[in-house]
Amino acid sequence: METQKTRILVVDDESQIRKLLSIALNAHDFHVETAENGNSGIQAVACFKPDLILLDLSLPDIDGVQVIKRVREWTQIPILILSVRGTDEDKVEALDSGADDYLTKPFSMNELFARIRTALRHIAKTYDNPAMECNGIKIDFLKRQVFVDSREIKLTPTEYEILKALIMNFEKVLTQKQLLQTVWGSSYNEETHYLRIYMRKLRKKIEQDPSNPKHLITESGIGYRLI
């Protein structure tokens, strides 16, 4: 029986970009469909049912952020932004709206495929398991225990909730707003200094060298990710 190929939808108004990505993705054995604007992209999500969306933000009919919001009304499939718009504000808006990752044009194909592999790993992930381990960091959700390289470490309730959010989105960027809402609630959207304080505390407990972290990574001006 033939194995079903992973489906990727490319939404970009530049025909050369669509062609380039189609050739590269097909060469890596992906099943590719393309759309040249936001509305046709939304329709393609419903009909093609992709496993991953590569989405440009600057589309001729509706902005890519609106596409993200519309798609997120019914599906959580990974969305990777490919855009020439590379300001922190653009990245934060897209990620807060529901995108999973952001790559600024121009980009290397090696980095693109690395980001695609990361995004696709999240498809099959479920978080109803009693424990989760990533790169030596383990959380036992039932007992609310945390281990680093098999050594138990003691976290405060707030530190635990931050680490839990990050490990449940392993390798994915969480914006400052997303973390603040998850841990403290929607009324704390602007209290970014809370995150700086608690990330510093977490690094002291988890990282071998807190000043040069290998796991708790800052995405400058955007948020944090656990790798």
Statement to judge: residues 16 and 114 lie in one domain: yes
Domain stops at, among 121, 142, 171: 121
pLDDT band at 139 (very low <50, low <70, confident <90, very high): very high
Q: How many CB atoms lie within 10 A of CB 170?
A: 18
* Percent of the chain with pLDDT strictly greater than 90: 77
Statement to judge: residues 215 and 162 lie in one domain: yes
Statement to judge: residues 76 and 142 lie in one domain: no
Using CA atoms, how far residue 213 sits from 65, 132, 151, 224, in Å, is: 32, 21, 18, 12
Statement to judge: residues 111 and 13 lie in one domain: yes
User: Partners of 152 in the beta sheet?
Assistant: 147
Domain stops at, among 121, 152, 175: 121
The pLDDT, as a whole number, for residue 188 is 81
* Total tally of structural domains belonging to the chain: 2
Query: What span, in angstroms and rounded, lies between the C-alpha atoms of 150 and 162?
Result: 20
List CB contacts of 99: < 8 A, sequence separation 6 or more.
Answer: 55, 68, 79, 80, 81
pLDDT band at 189 (very low <50, low <70, confident <90, very high): confident
Statement to judge: residues 66 and 113 lie in one domain: yes
- This model's pTM is above 0.85: no
Judged against a pLDDT cut of 80, whether residue 147 lies above it is answered with: yes
Q: What is the CATH number of the domain that holds 205?
A: 1.10.10.10
Instruction: Give pLDDT tens digits for 66-116.
Output: 999 999 888 889 999 999 999 999 999 999 999 999 999 999 999 999 999
Judged against a pLDDT cut of 60, whether residue 126 lies above it is answered with: no
Instruction: Give pLDDT tens digits for 194-206.
Output: 999 999 999 999 9
Number of H helices, E strands in the chain: 8, 12
Domain annotation covers residue 208: yes
Statement to judge: residues 217 and 139 lie in one domain: yes
Domain stops at, among 78, 103, 121: 121
Domain that holds residue 201: 131-226
